[in-house]
Structure 1
Amino acid sequence: MLKEISSTQNSYIKQLVQLKEKSRERRKSGLFIIEGLREISLAIKSDYTLETLLFCPDLISEAQLSHLMHPQIDLVSISKEVYQKLAHRETTEGVLAVAQAKSHDLNTLQLHSKQPLVLVAEAPEKPGNIGALLRTADAANVDAVLIANPKTDLYNPNIIRSSVGCVFTKPVAMGSTAEIISFLKTNKIAMYCASLQASEVYTSQDYTGPTALVVGTEATGLSDEWLQQSTQNIIIPMQGEIDSMNVSVAAGILIFEAIRQRQLTIDNSQ
């Protein structure tokens, strides 16, 4: 039987508000909220387990959710007032899901490609930048995204929103800088670190083998630990007055240069 909740004072709704607003609650419960049809669909496609679907019949019909439904997922009809309390965005389709978080332990990450291409971001803080990095990783179909010294909860609603659900589409693992460097070395993955120091122009390097492209924050760049362990520091030459660009833009330039080289290798071998 379809459950209905119309009050924002409902105890379950209060719990969901805590999930939305507090990373501590997400970590403690192992649950988080997904908002929007596309984002929920991507989570399901990536084998996330959904516990509950909540929809506002004023904004979306039950029939429009048929492709998301499963006997093990509770379906709850909520009032517009409740939906607005839970929704992170003003203009969405009227559907939310409560999902189980996955483990992002570096020790569980498996790279299936013989020539993996990995994006590494050290200490990214801004959810918008993290979301953009994840969108770029999805667009380039990289093998994994590694976040060193994470500062932000991966299931922050702003990350899910800014990644348009790409937080679900690629393997993401987290660890300290030392742990990730060790992982890359163990897997014989060359590390190309974006830096102003002791750098070669990014187009001069060969990214057709196992490759990690490593970017830091715009404010401080990469830590010395990365620069000391780097296979080669690389730089994107600036044509204007400033010496840096948005981290997601820089990552996109580097990743698609690697993709270009790899495609050229395939074309030349045919």
Structure 2
Amino acid sequence: MKNITSTQNTLVKQIVLLKEKSRERKKTGNFIIEGQREIQLAVKGGYKIKTLLFYSGIITAADINELTSVNDIDPELIEISKEVYHKVAYRETTEGILAIAAAKEHTLSSLNFKRVNPLILIAEAPEKPGNIGALLRTADAAGLDAVIIANPKTDMYNPNIIRSSVGCVFTNNIATGSTEDIIVFLKANGIKINCAALTASVNYHKVDYKKPTAIVVGTEATGLSNDWLRNSTQNIIIPMQGEIDSMNVSVSAAIIIYEAKRQRSFD
């Protein structure tokens, strides 16, 4: 087993880059996972764990061996010092373990639906990784067939997305693409497009979600682009009874998603 004690180590510097720079993650095809639960969910989601690094002051080598044995993985194991761990760790409350994993390609063509009438969540250009994480948690809880990010502002392995999704980024069926390509994909697959919008809308619970359906949400600041509104099967709205005209995007999505699930009797 290797041991790293210097924060100037080449691998340590690479991990810092993977943690902080999207272009480094894209260039290498690798990303960082921190925490036991997140690593286990990544394994469950079919991700290849290349390297496990741990600080024995928090988690022991025996615990690491049990983790690899239970999850049937055989990564390179590296013990790191306290100084190195604090250099590479992202979260304030830590578990003493992080992994280098291989990213997946999230193309539209790679999507496989588990039902003939899929229920999909689409978010256009979400700016905050925390919102993306919350959307992924909702999608996981509801057992959606896919989550598609249109015109993404960051890659899906941003540490803030991994953290805020509590690892659900690994358990969801995810694709990214341009708004134009996603609309073509939806129409080719006979999937209805229900856009959350303020204009030409009907109350969200008056729409039939039993057929193949995409629920499309935009940013709180600007909403959806005209491309979505022009191609919408039906615009939908959640009635506001207070002084504001919108809610957090993840809250809005959850309300609509669970109405769709109710209509489908939580299939």
The normalised TM-score by structure 2 is 0.97
Partner Cα distance (1:68, 1:222) in 2: 44
Q: Which residue of 1 aligns with 2:163?
A: 161
Per-residue deviation at 1:210? 0.6
Partner Cα distance (2:241, 2:56) in 1: 52
SS in 2 for 1:34: strand
Q: Which residue of 2 aligns with 1:128?
A: 130
Match of 1:184 among 183, 186, 204: 186
Q: Percent identity?
A: 64
Q: Which residue of 2 aligns with 1:152?
A: 154
Partner Cα distance (2:81, 2:148) in 1: 39
Change in CA separation of 1:71 and 1:156 when aligned onto 2, cut-off 3 Å = closer
Letter in 1 for 2:35: G
1:67 and 2:72 equivalent?
no
SS in 1 for 2:265: helix
Partner Cα distance (1:22, 1:68) in 2: 28
Structure 1 contact 38–165 (Cα < 8 Å) conserved: yes
Partner Cα distance (2:109, 2:225) in 1: 22
Q: Which residue of 2 aligns with 1:95?
A: 97
Q: Which residue of 2 aligns with 1:19?
A: 18
Unaligned runs of 5+ in 2: none
Q: Which residue of 1 aligns with 2:243?
A: 241
Partner Cα distance (2:127, 2:137) in 1: 16
After superposition, where does 1:1-80 map in structure 2 within 5 Å? Answer: 2-65=1-64, 66-69=66-69, 72-80=74-82
1:225 and 2:224 equivalent?
no
Letter in 2 for 1:236: I
Per-residue deviation at 1:225? 0.6
Partner Cα distance (1:248, 1:149) in 2: 17
Per-residue deviation at 1:71? 6.2
Per-residue deviation at 1:112? 2.9
Structure 2 contact 2–79 (Cα < 8 Å) conserved: yes
Letter in 1 for 2:220: E
Match of 1:210 among 209, 212, 220: 212
Q: Which residue of 1 aligns with 2:196?
A: 194
The normalised TM-score by structure 1 is 0.96
Per-residue deviation at 1:67? 2.4
Per-residue deviation at 1:72? 3.5
Per-residue deviation at 1:12? 1.0
Letter in 1 for 2:33: I
Q: What does the per-residue CA deviation read over 1:71-127, in whole Å, with 9 as the maximum and x for residues that have no partner?
A: 631000011111111111111111000000000011221223111000000001100
Unaligned runs of 5+ in 1: none
Partner Cα distance (1:92, 1:252) in 2: 29
Q: CA RMSD in A?
A: 1.1
Partner Cα distance (2:192, 2:144) in 1: 15
Structure 1 contact 41–68 (Cα < 8 Å) conserved: no
SS in 1 for 2:60: coil
Structure 2 contact 68–74 (Cα < 8 Å) conserved: no
Partner Cα distance (2:73, 2:123) in 1: 39
Letter in 2 for 1:171: N
Structure 2 contact 203–238 (Cα < 8 Å) conserved: yes
Partner Cα distance (1:139, 1:81) in 2: 37
Q: How many residues align?
A: 264
Partner Cα distance (1:108, 1:203) in 2: 31
Partner Cα distance (1:151, 1:39) in 2: 23
Per-residue deviation at 1:153? 1.4
